[in-house]
A = this chain, B = another copy of it.
Amino acid sequence: MTPQRRAVAAVLRGENVHLSAEVVLSRARQELPELSMATVYNTLNELVAMGEILEIANGSGPKRYDPNVLIAHHHLVCTSCGSLQDVAIPASNPRLNADELHGYLITGTEIVFQGLCPRCR
């Protein structure tokens, strides 16, 4: 646990936090100005590998990192400004029936609700 990793981890804390590497860097630099981007990426990737944070791959644009791993949830993304909102798993959780599985073994289901956020609509 180096100061760098602590600074990165400290930024990724809380609910409804979805930060890009860039933003993680600038925020963590408030604590540790000499922090480098390489170290941010190294740390983020380790945190993802350890299961401490989630990686949210946005279509184009940078990946976002989400520290909320304890409560399973989906995302609501604004197609205009890119802002993200956590949403609870809906009551009607989608399932595939046998003939739609095409022989796959399902390991996860991810729902992305697209829409316009209050500011953009």
Hey, which bits of chain A sit against chain B, CB under 8 A? 55, 57-60, 63, 76, 78-79, 85, 87-88, 90, 92-96, 100-118, 121
Contacts and interface: CB of A to CB of B under 8 A. Distances in A.
Nearest to A89: B94
A76 B94 contact: no
Copies of this chain, complex-wide, total: 2
Most buried by B among A79, A112, A113, A116: A113
A101 B78 CA distance: 12
Nearest to A119: B103
Nearest to A102: B85
Contact of A93 (B58, B94, B105, B118): B94
Contacts of A112: 109-112
A22 B116 CA distance: 32
A95 B92 contact: yes
Nearest to A60: B57
Given A111-B109, A112-B109, A78 B93 contact: no
A15 to B, nearest CB: 12
Nearest to A76: B104
Contact of A92 (B58, B78, B92, B106): B92
